Amino acid sequence: GAVVSQHPSRVICKSGTSVKIECRSLDFQATTMFWYRQFPKQSLMLMATSNEGSKATYEQGVEKDKFLINHASLTLSTLTVTSAHPEDSSFYICSARGLQRGALRASTDTQYFGPGTRLTVL
Amino acid sequence: GDSVTQMEGPVTLSEEAFLTINCTYTATGYPSLFWYVQYPGEGLQLLLKATKADDKGSNKGFEATYRKETTSFHLEKGSVQVSDSAVYFCALTTQGGSEKLVFGKGTKLTVNP
């Protein structure tokens, strides 16, 4: 249980275009999802926290108009990188905090991570 | 603010060697502590966790004990395998706080046959 998927796993786009990345909790409901960015050989940098049905909370220094986050349901959050530029190339990872649903249980104090999306902007 | 400090890598070991990756933390309140592992080209996977003092998390032969007196959560494994080669991240969340995970910088482990 507690599986999080991301789509796409890799994307290459031209500078100036927008790219949408999906994050889904497959077998549990996630009231809170997190978006991270990871630069090569470095740790994860939290970009924003999104709660289902409300606006995302962005970390200091993260442009909310450039990185649009939508958390429309308890199993789906999307990150849209608008007007992408080469410096936006990175590994984007989402995570989800669990909520017990029926017989499936995901610990509410644990974040479960997706496999990541490699974005390359040409 | 809350922070996690883990030993700088990279760490290179031979198969069946003993592994220790040190992790210490600074936090207000009573944090939950985690070790995550990231295999090449993949996202993070939860390896183990501990939610209160003296708890021991364990998984796949890895262990870590929550030591409040030394504010540490060192990762150990008695006999590493080549397949353990990955980057290991120590992290914490503060209970009742912002729910954010605070990560250490990661330690790259390479195990040679």
The model's pLDDT over B36-72, given as tens digits with 9 standing for 90+, comes to 999 987 888 899 999 899 999 999 999 999 999 999 9
- From chain B residues 67-96, the ones with a CB under 8 A of any chain A CB are 89, 93, 95
Q: Does B99 touch chain A (CB under 8 A)?
A: yes
Q: Does B59 touch chain A (CB under 8 A)?
A: no
Cα separation, B23 vs B4, whole angstroms: 7
What's the confidence (pLDDT) of residue B41? 78
Average pLDDT of the residues of chain B: 91
Cα separation, B107 vs B41, whole angstroms: 15
What's the confidence (pLDDT) of residue B78? 97
The model's pLDDT over A51-63, given as tens digits with 9 standing for 90+, comes to 888 889 999 999 9
Chain A environment of B101 (Cβ under 8 Å): 34, 44, 46, 95, 111
Q: Does B30 touch chain A (CB under 8 A)?
A: no
What's the confidence (pLDDT) of residue A102? 45
Chain A environment of B105 (Cβ under 8 Å): 42-43
The percent of residues in chain B predicted with pLDDT above 70, rounded, is 96
Token pair in block for residue B36: 């995550």
Whose structure tokens read 């709660």? A51
Q: Within 10 A of A6 (CB to CB), how many other CB atoms are there? A: 19
Peptide bond into A8 cis (omega under 30): yes
More confident residue, A101 or B25: B25
Task: Say if residue B4's pLDDT is above 70.
Answer: yes
Residue B25 CA from chain centroid, whole number? 11
- Dihedral of CA B56/B47/A37/A90: which sign? positive
What's the confidence (pLDDT) of residue A31? 83
- The low-confidence residues of chain A, meaning pLDDT below 70, are 1, 99-109
